[in-house]
């Protein structure tokens, strides 16, 4: 190879799947990415990528080169992390989750993350949409169900108990639930089964539901850990009738060895420790 800097373009295209996303990550343009990949093809006298149905995919030769480049990058990051004199570049790691998980689980642990990982710029976003890790819309995703699509590395990191809660001694059948489009979720099915009627109010977040419960005196559905923290609320159903929502942490398989992402994943998993213990 004449120019080892070109390997960055192999790594970016393999991880992000498209010329546009690789260019955005490298802060350049698609023409430059295409030119660098073509130059590497010529230098190696082989084809490193082939166009798949939805993204650029590594050929066997390209996979060998990618493994070499990724391994070198990890060794370099490890060296920089252990060096007290090096000024490491800041790495941005984007995490997409749900609003209540960001607000009540991850955000309270931000201080420890910044202390332990000053060279990672963390971005937390909340969305109900399944973002594409292959196309670089996020680096890590948290979901309440195990995915079946894509080349993803999935790890179950928590079980969240969902139940029906209300004021102590509450007999009111009016309740607060999530919006109509979420009636398919186990927690909404649980609410419908318990109350036997439609919600009197619908609110798009569990924090909003609990706030409205306090203001109106109505009952509602919520995660156990959140209801316990916001109380005083009591569980209005037997414990065995609660539903469990699994929290899955997802990383695209091409990013699983990235040091910054590994450190962020470890922090996320530790942040859910109190929930698993409840």
Tally: H helices and E strands in the chain = 11, 11
Taking the C-alpha atoms of residue 34 and residue 23, their distance in angstroms, rounded to an integer, is 9
What is the rounded average pLDDT of the residues 19-39? 82
pLDDT higher than threshold 60 for residue 230: yes
Question: What value, to the nearest 5°, has the Cα angle with vertex 252 and ends 248 and 257?
Answer: 105
Does a structural domain hold residue 103?
Answer: no
Residue 31's pLDDT is 85
pLDDT of residue 257: 78
Question: Is 143 inside a domain boundary?
Answer: no
Helices (H), 171-205: 186-195
Q: How far apart are CA 104 and CA 226, in angstroms?
A: 8
Q: Return the pLDDT at 85.
A: 44
Mean pLDDT, the chain, as a whole number?
A: 83
Q: By C-alpha distance, which of 181, 134, 163, 146 is closest to 237?
A: 163
Count CA atoms closer than 13 A to 256's CA, side-chain side. 11
pLDDT mean over 150-166:
90
Domain assignment of residue 125, yes or no: no
CATH code, domain with 43: 1.10.10.10
Percent of the chain having pLDDT more than 70? 87
**Could you tell me if residue 181 is inside a domain?**
yes
- Domain-located, residue 118: no
Whether 159 has a pLDDT exceeding 60, the answer reads yes
How far is it, in rounded angstroms, from Cα 92 to Cα 139?
9
- Whether the per-residue pLDDT at 134 is higher than 60: the answer is yes
Q: Which domain, by its residues, includes 225?
A: 160-244
Cα 28 from Cα 9, distance rounded (Å): 10
Q: Look at residue 251 and tell me if it is in a domain.
A: no
- The pTM for the full model equals 0.67
User: What is the pLDDT confidence band of residue 136, given thresholds at 50, 70 and 90?
Assistant: confident
Most confident of 41-45, 122-126, 143-147: 122-126
Confidence of residue 106 (pLDDT cuts 50, 70, 90): very high
Domain finish residue from 50, 82, 114:
82
- The answer to whether residues 159 and 224 touch, using CB atoms and an 8 Å cutoff, is no
Separation between Cα atoms, residue 101 and residue 242, nearest integer Å: 19
Within-domain flag for 256 = no
The total number of structural domains in the chain stands at 2
Instruction: Give residue-wise pLDDT tens across range 162-199.
Output: 999 998 777 677 999 999 999 999 999 999 999 999 99
User: Does residue 22 belong to any structural domain of this protein?
Assistant: yes
Per-residue pLDDT tens digits for 66-98: 777 766 655 555 555 555 444 556 788 999 998
Residue 197 belongs to domain with CATH number: 3.40.190.290
């Amino acid at each position: 190879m004449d120019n080892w800097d070109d390997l960055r373009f192999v790594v970016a295209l393999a991880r992000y799947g498209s010329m546009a996303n690789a260019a955005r990550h490298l802060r350049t343009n698609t023409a430059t990415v295409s030119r660098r990949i073509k130059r590497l093809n010529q230098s190696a006298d082989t084809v490193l990528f082939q166009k798949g149905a939805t993204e650029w995919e590594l050929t066997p030769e390209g996979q060998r080169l990618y493994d070499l480049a990724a391994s070198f990058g990890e060794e370099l990051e490890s060296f920089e992390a252990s060096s007290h004199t090096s000024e490491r570049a800041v790495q941005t790691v984007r995490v997409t989750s749900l609003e209540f998980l960001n607000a009540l689980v991850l955000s309270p642990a931000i201080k420890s993350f910044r202390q332990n990982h000053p060279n990672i710029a963390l971005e937390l976003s909340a969305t109900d949409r399944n973002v594409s890790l292959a196309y670089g819309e996020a680096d890590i995703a948290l979901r309440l169900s195990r995915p079946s699509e894509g080349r993803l590395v999935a790890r179950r990191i928590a079980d969240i108990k969902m139940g029906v809660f209300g004021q102590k001694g509450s007999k009111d059948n009016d309740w607060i639930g999530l919006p109509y489009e979420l009636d398919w979720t186990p927690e909404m099915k649980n609410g419908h089964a318990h109350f036997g009627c439609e919600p009197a109010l619908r609110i798009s977040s569990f924090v909003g539901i609990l706030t409205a419960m306090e203001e109106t005196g109505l009952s509602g559905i919520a995660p156990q850990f959140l209801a316990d923290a916001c109380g005083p609320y009591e569980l209005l159903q037997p414990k065995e009738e609660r539903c469990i929502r699994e929290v899955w942490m997802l990383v695209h398989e091409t990013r699983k060895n990235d040091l910054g992402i590994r450190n962020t994943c470890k922090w996320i998993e530790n942040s859910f420790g109190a929930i698993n213990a409840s």
